[in-house]
Amino acid sequence: MTKIDRLFLNGLLWTGDASQPEAEALAVGGEIIVAVGSTAQMRALAGPGVEAIDLEGRRVVPGFIDAHWHFLPDSRARFFMADSLAEFQRRLKALAEADPGGGWIIDSGWAYTDFPDHTPHSRHIDSVVANRPVWLTGRDGHMILLNSLALQTLQISAHSGNTASDCAVRDAQGRLTGELRGMVPLEELRSKLPPLSASQLDGLLREIQAEANAFGITSVHNLDEALGDNLLCLQRARQQGWLGLRVQQAHRLLPEPDAARLALLDERRRSTAGDMMFSFSGLKGWLDGTIDARTAYMREALTDGSAGRPYWDGQQLNDTVALMDRLGWQVMLHATGDGSIGQAIVAYEHAARVNGPRAINARRHRIEHIDVPSNQDLSRCALAGIMASSQPNFAYPDDTVLHNYSSLLGSERTTRAQSYRAIDEAGVRQCFSSDYPVSSMDVLRSIHTAVERQLRGHDGAEPWMPHQRIGAEAALRHFTVDGAYAAFQDHRKGRLARGLLADMTVLSDDILDDPQRRLLDSHVLMTVLGGRIVHQTTRAAAATRAQATSPMLRPRSACPACRSVSLDPFQLAARAHHSAGNASAWRRYA
């Protein structure tokens, strides 16, 4: 038997493994789980002198896997759920005062409902910060709001004919509002922003991964291509041994890739094959924008008459997906509108038809977001083995969901929006994520939303589309077992089982027992990556941290239609201050 280095005893383990669903303890040798069973069994296996950590009856689950994540160091979602112009401007002022040296202010997280008449404008920034350029990405990542100086600096005007100006929103008089919509302008313009230094990038990555570890996350699927310095930062962290997350790095799906592009993809995939800390895997493509930004490709127009447009020609998409499928690549297509969901399904079905049948789990192509699928869409996904990649935070019934997103969809389509239960019942494999920095990485809050679809801490508030609720164990599985499956790594992680990586999360409460109550109060006490403790705190410290890094709960007027109250309960992005690897707060046994 492999040498045992550490024991984790007296816990309440949810293993995710059908052959042994529950256990008390496990033994770790190196990075690997050597055995799982009772505390007595693990003690007998290890013998005297082996370090042992008493879990004190806590619920232990596999390390959380965030299956749709972005390494965008300059965006920390500090405007997420501001919920009012006054709060938006307060946070902007705080950002400016925290960095008085001048230069660009860059961040993310605003929503249309933060602004009067749901209409963001440069003047809402200019009145707070006018003497330095400001770039704020909207919370779904598909629109930006610039102040007047930023528009001037980036040479965007109502008269210039470049791509960015073409995607700029104008008012009734044809004047720029400061908002731009679509991925093309964001990517073109982002390249013009001042770059961060290598040391700045390293510092930000350390902060972001410490924050992820504090939320119990051990693995992420980075769906931003991470070009240039961002990619070098991730590679440097891996080479120098301080990468604190297992990162599966996606590439961009480009139409009709040439031989040089295919060779680059193949070389990167081969060079990192088998590396469980950093590997190149999967191709990400965008088929449309988002419903909130009115850029989602819809089969029928949204209630305001907008229907978005497809980003890809259908035949070109089919041919490109078929090519990459033939070369053994997993494809992940962003599709929010039901028109783009249909495009993705057709492309995957076409690839299977031209490249021949394989086992149902051989391809694992994914639809990212899959906001409003029909029952027929889900049936086709199940038959083709297409995965759904969903974000529970997007079902949280805040002002944006209730008064922008739902209003644009209309009543019928809203009933199938963020349809986690329908996806599960259709037999479609589903993985969960945050889409960070679009929303908080806090997995427990995401699970609560998937289970309750209700304002946190307000049991009397009306839930949003409660027929799409799922159970706590199903949500937990989507953040662990299914996250590993979605990356072809279910044979290495995602469960607490012998021979798998020792990635686990220790919770303060048993979230599977009375989840409605316990999910509200539960915190991550310890995160273990490959047998190594990368985050640890006490329950009191975790509660204090959550309180310190969360905006105040600010009740606002109740909506007469749904009787809900708009709050701001999610944590803003926060720095983790708990030292990794310090297990002194836990009682040990020899």
All residues at 6 or more sequence positions from 430 whose CB lies less than 8 Å from its CB, including other chains = 387, 388, 389, 390, 420, 423, 424, 478, 482
Instruction: Say what the pLDDT of residue 420 is.
Output: 98
Q: How confident is the model at residue 572 (pLDDT cuts 50, 70, 90)?
A: very low
6-9/25-29 β-pairing: antiparallel
- Asked whether residue 471 is domain-assigned, the answer is no
In this structure, what CATH number is given to the domain that contains residue 159?
3.10.310.70
64-69/387-390 β-pairing: unpaired
More confident residue, 236 or 539: 236
Q: Considering the chain, what is the average pLDDT of its residues? A: 89
Q: How far apart are the C-alpha atoms of 463 and 115, rounded to whole Å?
A: 24
- Asked whether residue 145 is domain-assigned, the answer is yes
pTM of the predicted model, to two decimals?
0.87
Instruction: Say what the pLDDT of residue 545 is.
Output: 66
The H-or-E segment that residue 209 falls in is: helix 198-214
Which one, of 466, 464, 370, 463, lies nearest residue 423 by Cα? 370
Report residue 476 as tokens: 């937990």
| Range with the poorest average pLDDT among 2-6, 182-186, 269-273, 442-446 | 182-186
Instruction: Say what the pLDDT of residue 575 is.
Output: 26
Report residue 559 as tokens: 């909506």
Q: How far is residue 538 from each of residues 260, 502, 512, 515, 523, measured CA to CA in Å?
A: 52, 21, 21, 21, 9
- Asked whether residue 252 is domain-assigned, the answer is no
Q: How far apart are the C-alpha atoms of 194 and 386, rounded to whole Å?
A: 39
Instruction: Say what the pLDDT of residue 543 is.
Output: 74
Interval 169-207: pLDDT, tens: 999 999 999 999 876 667 778 888 888 899 999 999 999
pLDDT of 224 higher than 90: no
> Mean pLDDT over residues 197-224, rounded?
95
pLDDT of 583 higher than 60: no
Interval 300-311: pLDDT, tens: 999 999 989 999
Instruction: Say what the pLDDT of residue 564 is.
Output: 32
Question: What angle, rounded to 10 degrees, do the helices at 314-326 and 338-355 form?
Answer: 50
> Mean pLDDT over residues 498-520, rounded?
95
Q: How confident is the model at residue 425 (pLDDT cuts 50, 70, 90)?
A: very high
Structural domain of residue 547, as residue ranges? 6-66+498-589
Instruction: Say what the pLDDT of residue 182 is.
Output: 77
More confident residue, 164 or 463: 463
Which one, of 302, 304, 389, 305, lies nearest residue 341 by Cα? 389
Looking at 152, 173, 190, the residue that finishes a domain is 190
Interval 357-399: pLDDT, tens: 999 899 999 999 999 999 999 999 999 999 999 999 999 999 8
Sign of the torsion angle spanned by Cα atoms 333, 188, 236, 572:
negative
Interval 458-484: pLDDT, tens: 767 889 999 999 999 999 999 999 999
* Domain match, 504 and 585 both: yes
Which one, of 76, 87, 112, lies nearest residue 439 by Cα? 76
* Domain match, 51 and 90 both: no
Interval 81-126: pLDDT, tens: 888 999 999 999 999 999 888 899 999 889 999 999 999 999 999 9
Angle at 284 between CA 282 and CA 287, to 5 degrees: 150
In this structure, what CATH number is given to the domain that contains residue 585?
2.30.40.10
- Asked whether residue 359 is domain-assigned, the answer is no
> Mean pLDDT over residues 337-348, rounded?
98
Q: How far apart are the C-alpha atoms of 536 and 520, rounded to whole Å?
A: 20
* Domain match, 58 and 98 both: no
Q: How far is residue 449 from each of residues 36, 139, 508, measured CA to CA in Å?
A: 31, 17, 19
pLDDT of 563 higher than 50: no
State the total domains in the chain: 2
Q: How confident is the model at residue 450 (pLDDT cuts 50, 70, 90)?
A: very high
Instruction: Say what the pLDDT of residue 286 is.
Output: 95
532-536/524-529 β-pairing: antiparallel
143-146/331-335 β-pairing: unpaired
* Domain match, 57 and 99 both: no
pLDDT of 80 higher than 70: yes
**Percent of the chain's residues with pLDDT above 90:** 74
pLDDT of 557 higher than 50: no
- Asked whether residue 321 is domain-assigned, the answer is no
* Domain match, 59 and 96 both: no
Instruction: Say what the pLDDT of residue 158 is.
Output: 81
- Asked whether residue 161 is domain-assigned, the answer is yes
Looking at 165, 190, 215, the residue that finishes a domain is 190
* Domain match, 173 and 89 both: yes
Report residue 461 as tokens: 């508030």
Starting at the earlier edge strand, list the strands of the sheet with 6-9: 32-37, 25-29, 6-9, 51-54, 588-589
| Range with the poorest average pLDDT among 2-11, 98-107, 151-160, 544-553 | 544-553
* Domain match, 580 and 503 both: yes
pLDDT of 552 higher than 80: no
* Domain match, 504 and 583 both: yes
* Domain match, 516 and 584 both: yes
pLDDT of 501 higher than 60: yes
Interval 39-71: pLDDT, tens: 999 999 987 889 999 999 999 999 999 999 999
* Domain match, 186 and 91 both: yes
| Range with the poorest average pLDDT among 28-32, 104-108, 166-170 | 166-170
Q: How confident is the model at residue 586 (pLDDT cuts 50, 70, 90)?
A: very low
- Asked whether residue 239 is domain-assigned, the answer is no
Q: How far apart are the C-alpha atoms of 504 and 518, rounded to whole Å?
A: 19
